[in-house]
Chain A
Amino acid sequence: MSEPDFRRRLINELPGLRAFAASLCGSLTTADDLVQDTLLKAWSNSEKFEAGTNLRAWLFTILRNTYFSLYRKRRREVQDTDGIYSQRLATHGSQDGHVDLADFRKALQQLPEEQREALIMIGASGLSYEEAADVCGVALGTIKSRVNRARGKLAQLLGIESIDDIGPDSRSTAAITA
C-alpha cells in the first residue's frame, strides 16, 4: 500500500478511533494523546499491516495495547471522572428513549476496563465478536461474557435493571422513555 493510500485509510479511521479511545480513557484530552501515539506506532509499523486485512481491528489492537501498557497507570494517578468530556455537556435529556448522557458516561467509566472496551467494540465501534476477541486476545466466549456483564452492570448502575424500573408512571417516563 502506498503512503498516501495508507494515510488516507488512517484518516478515515480517525473519528472511530478517537471515540473508542475516549470511551476507554474517560477523557477526550487523554484520548487525543492516545490516538496520537497510536498513529505514530501504526505509521512506523505500517509494513506489518497486510493490505486487505482489517485495518480497524489492527489499529484498535495498537491503541488498546498502548492504553493498557502506558495510560492505565496514569489514569490511576489522575482520576478524571469530573473531566469526562467536560467540554461536551450533556444537553439532551431523555426524550429519545435513552438515559441522560452524563449519567450514562459516569456509569460507563465505572465498568471494569475489559467490560467497557468489549461493550464499546461490539455495541458502538462495529467490530464483530470475532474481531473483538482477536483485538483483546481472548476467546469468543470471554468477549460475549464481558459484553453481557457490561450491560448488566450498566443497567444496575443506572437503575434500569428490570422493566419495572421503567414503569408507565409519569415520573419514570420523564426520566426514561422506553
Chain B
Amino acid sequence: MSDKVELRTENAAEPELDQRVQDILGRSLKAHFDDILAAPMPDRFLALLAELEVKEQKLTKDKSDV
C-alpha cells in the first residue's frame, strides 16, 4: 500500500514550468555555478594530493627495497 503511494508520488507528472521560466532558472543556475568555478582554488587540495602521491611512492619504493 505504502509502496504504491510512494510510486504514485515519485512518478506523478509534475506540471511543466513555462519554457521561458525554465530558461531563466537555467541561466541563474549557470551564473551561480560559474561564479563558484571562478573562485580561486585553495592550495590545500593540490598540497594534499601531492603529499598523498609522495607517501604512496615512498611506500612502493620501501617495499621494493626489501
Contact = CB atoms under 8 A, between A and B. Distances in A.
Interface of A: 3-4, 7, 10-11, 14-16, 18-19, 22-23, 28, 32, 35-36, 39-40, 43, 85, 87-88, 92, 96-99, 101, 104-105, 108, 119-120, 123-124, 139, 141-142, 145, 148-149, 151-152, 154-155, 160-163, 166, 176, 178
Given A101-B35, A178-B23, 10 more contacts: A23-B33, A43-B49, A43-B52, A97-B27, A105-B32, A124-B33, A154-B25, A163-B18, A166-B20, A178-B20
B10 A139 contact: yes
Interface of B: 10-12, 14-18, 20-33, 35-37, 39, 41-42, 44-46, 48-50, 52-53, 56-57
A23 B31 CA distance: 12
Pairs of residues from A and B, 5 with the lowest C-beta to C-beta distance, nearest first: A148-B14, A98-B28, A98-B27, A124-B33, A19-B36
